A and B are shown apart, each in its own frame.
Chain A
Amino acid sequence: QALRPNMERPGSPTSRVRAPTAVQSDPASVTLTQLVQLVQQGQELPGLESRDIVATQGEPTASQLPRRPKPWEAAACVPSRAPPTVGWRSRPEPGSAEVS
């Protein structure tokens, strides 16, 4: 099972100093700070659930509802509105794509 302690990286939320909270009596509930400490100490995580799930390879249930127009599509029924363009000024930048 992959551990992901670097989940803290966006904005380093776990670097925040917070007082330990114990408002929940549920033993499986550990705070984020407690959990990161357990991971860093290499300890077993409480209630860790392991699943082995595979695709059923089934077909989706047939749709019975029509597509609903988006609010902005309903509002855009003004004939004077310019069609979408891709005429941006900037040049294409480095970066590429490959067809798989």
Chain B
Amino acid sequence: MSAVGVGAARTLRVPGRHGYAAEFSPYLPDRLACAAAQHYGIAGCGTLLVLDQNESGLRLFRSFDWSDGLFDVTWSENNEHVLVTCSGDGSLQLWDTAKATGPLQVYKEHSQEVYSVDWSQTRGEQLVVSGSWDQTVKLWDPTVGKSLCTFRGHESVIYSTIWSPHIPGCFASTSGDQTLRIWDMKTTGVRIVIPAHQAEILSCDWCKYNENLLVTGAVDCSLRGWDLRNVRQPVFELLGHTYAIKRVKFSPFHASVLASCSYDFTVRFWNFSKPDPLLETVEHHTEFTCGLDLSLHSPTQVADCAWDEMIKIYDPACLTVP
């Protein structure tokens, strides 16, 4: 149980909480945040879990309750103590891991469920974007009590909003309207609308080594790569998941490696540059797997969480064998 290494996942069960998002701290290699909801997010309260891993496993460092289910979490990029979550009641919450009680601030502007939050990745900006089922994206400076801007255009619920790691002020969003949209904060308008799937698109992410490349994951079970210089057709398509893809993330370390998790209970690792792109299928959950992150500190470490109440950190074989 205390073994550490390839194949030995560090696991924590959180009774009565169903995981929606997992995010490694950008500061502390062993710290993980997990946004969770009671009753699968259908009703009840939510909990932000802050976990630390060590040789013997995963332990709870702190937990913070909120009055509604928490659906996503993002760490601050300028303060190792601070995180932002979003919830079913249309609000965002700002938390401080050094304090036992919270949240410090609540930002309530969205009129429906907020399904995604992301803290900007480029230097020189400290901004948060949120995406909601009210079909809007909002831009926040967490030191200011109200949103800076509201972006409209999506024609259905918004499932994900992710900042470009390279282009300041640029972010992507995906929606039930079957589009991927690229926005420029400075022109306060949408730059590109990509009808990326014939299905709801639950997730997207930016490649960390090609500023023009994104991936989308959709209810049609496919992942598609998009080059912003020519969006007429995808530059790759990855097939293998058997139910909707909930979340997709590019590797922070490998230009062509990405990971996806799904309602088929699995996490899959891919290298889109290979003729046989599916590297590995990890099936260690017994419910929908909703949260997924790749460590910024270890090229091999991955975290995920699922509706089976389990949070896991592990080193999949495909990332440990070059």
- Contacts A56-B104, A60-B81, A84-B167 given; indicate if A7 touches B96 (C-beta within 8 A): no
- B157: chain A residues at CB < 8 Å are 9
- Contacts A1-B43, A7-B42, A36-B42 given; indicate if A100 touches B147 (C-beta within 8 A): yes
Q: Among B26, B44, B66, B287, point to the contact of A48 (Cβ < 8 A).
A: B44
Contact code string A12-36 (vs B, CB < 8 Å = 1, else 0): 0100100000000010111010011
A47 (CB) vs chain B CBs: closest residue: B16
Main secondary structure of the interface of A (DSSP, over half): loop
Question: Do A57 and B105 touch (CB < 8 A)?
Answer: yes
Question: Do A55 and B148 touch (CB < 8 A)?
Answer: no
Interface size, B (range): 35 or more
Q: Is B54 part of the binding interface, using a Cβ–Cβ cutoff of 8 Å?
A: no
- CA distance in complex: A50, B66 (Å): 9
Q: Is B249 part of the binding interface, using a Cβ–Cβ cutoff of 8 Å?
A: no
- B38: chain A residues at CB < 8 Å are 47-49
Q: Is B113 part of the binding interface, using a Cβ–Cβ cutoff of 8 Å?
A: yes
* CB within 8 Å of A: which B148-177 residues: 148-154, 157, 159, 165-168, 170, 176
- CA distance in complex: A28, B309 (Å): 12
Question: Do B190 and A95 touch (CB < 8 A)?
Answer: yes
- Contacts A1-B43, A98-B149 given; indicate if A65 touches B80 (C-beta within 8 A): yes
- Contacts A11-B263, A99-B149 given; indicate if A92 touches B190 (C-beta within 8 A): yes
In angstroms, how far is the closest chain B Cβ from the Cβ of A55? 5
Q: Is B65 part of the binding interface, using a Cβ–Cβ cutoff of 8 Å?
A: yes
Question: Do A84 and B149 touch (CB < 8 A)?
Answer: no
Q: Is B189 part of the binding interface, using a Cβ–Cβ cutoff of 8 Å?
A: yes
- A54: chain B residues at CB < 8 Å are 106
| Chain B residues at the A interface, C-beta cutoff of 8 Å | 15-16, 26-27, 38-45, 65-69, 77-82, 88-89, 93-94, 96, 98-99, 101-106, 113, 121, 123, 146-154, 157, 159, 165-168, 170, 176, 181-184, 187-193, 200, 202, 208-209, 211, 219, 228-231, 243-244, 246, 252-253, 263, 287-288, 296, 299, 307, 309
| Chain A residues at the B interface, C-beta cutoff of 8 Å | 1-5, 7, 9-11, 13, 16, 26, 28-30, 32, 35-36, 39, 45, 47-65, 67-68, 70-72, 75, 84-86, 88-90, 92-100
